[in-house]
Amino acid sequence: MNTGTSEQIFRAGPYAEGTNNIGEFLAIVHALTWQVKHNVHVPVYSDSENAISWIYTGECKTRLKRSSKNAILFALIRSAENWLAENELPEDRVLKWDTGLWGENPADFGRK
């Protein structure tokens, strides 16, 4: 979501047996790929410290167990990790959303 205009740029899910952290991780990678495709260079914000750390390590370190219900989710994770391995990410591209200062992240759609 573009926080300046409230424009929804993309939306995906929900995914069976998904977690908030996995959703945040995938959303961040999707936002980054969208930026590369459209030659846009703006910060991506997330309120998930786990997802942000996974972005910078290049690995989604979820403890979620694989199952037939969440197979698509793990395929998306693998694809996202591959994208991160193949693309250089500036250190200031993914930032922590300051919920205390700015309120809930609009990309959470009021679900927190």
Q: Report pLDDT digits (tens) over 48-101.
A: 999 999 999 999 999 999 999 999 999 999 999 999 999 998 888 899 987 888
Going by their DSSP bridges, the two strands 44-46 and 94-96 should be labelled as parallel
Q: Radius of gyration of the chain from Cα atoms?
A: 14
Collapsing DSSP to helix, strand or coil, 46 comes out as: strand
Instruction: Show the domains of the chain with their CATH numbers.
Output: 20-108 (3.30.420.10)
- Percent of the chain past pLDDT 90, that is, above it, reads 59
pTM: 0.84
Q: How many CA atoms lie within 13 A of 57 on its CB side?
A: 11
For residue 109, pLDDT over 60 is answered with no
> Cα(61)–Cα(22) distance, rounded to whole angstroms?
9
> Cα(24)–Cα(19) distance, rounded to whole angstroms?
9
Per DSSP, the residues of 35-82 read HHHHT----EEES-HHHHHHHHHT-----PPP-STTHHHHHHHHHHHH
Amino acid, single-letter form, for residue 42:
V
- H-run or E-run covering 94: strand 94-96
Residue 106 per-residue DSSP state: G
